Amino acid sequence: MSGSHAAGDEETDDPVFEAAEYADGTVSYPPHPVGPNGAERVGTVDLREYDATVVTWTKSTATPPGVRAPNTLAIVEFDLGTEYDGPPVRAIGQVVEDTDVAVGDPVTPVYVEELRDPDAGIREPDSQDWDGFRFEPIE
């Protein structure tokens, strides 16, 4: 992608919402070693740099241990600009707390340190990463 926002272009300690870029110009999330058309991975794209649109959403009221209830989840499609003509880049994730979304709403990814309570559940808290990205509506 010419003009892409590749992770690593700038030295930063900010978390990266990493998608993969492939030799044929396609981008996919989550990143894989080989692209959807078999192309070699050539770089990364930081999805924090792009807005997305809600494709669909649901509200879970029976959540796993440590996950907030109710928990709104959305599938979003990122707008990588007019130069990108590959397959849609979509992700699923939590919506920020106390926020309603609708199909077609614009959202942006925001980093959070804890997507769930690390002390809940059966795994040793230090053995897991608990951070990640949620989607926040754009006003």
Place of tokens 């990463």: 129
Backbone phi, psi, residue 17, to 5°? -95, 85
Quick check: 20 and 32 in contact, CB under 8 A? Answer: yes
Q: Is the peptide bond before 30 cis (omega within 30 degrees of 0)?
A: yes
Per residue of the chain (139 residues), what is the pLDDT tens digit? 433 444 444 555 789 999 999 999 999 999 999 998 999 999 999 999 999 999 999 999 998 887 888 989 999 999 999 999 999 999 999 999 888 999 999 999 999 887 766 666 666 656 566 678 999 999 8
Quick check: 66 and 120 in contact, CB under 8 A? Answer: yes
Q: What residues pair up with 73 in beta bridges, in sequence order?
A: 58, 94
**CA–CA dist 118, 128 (Å, integer):** 8
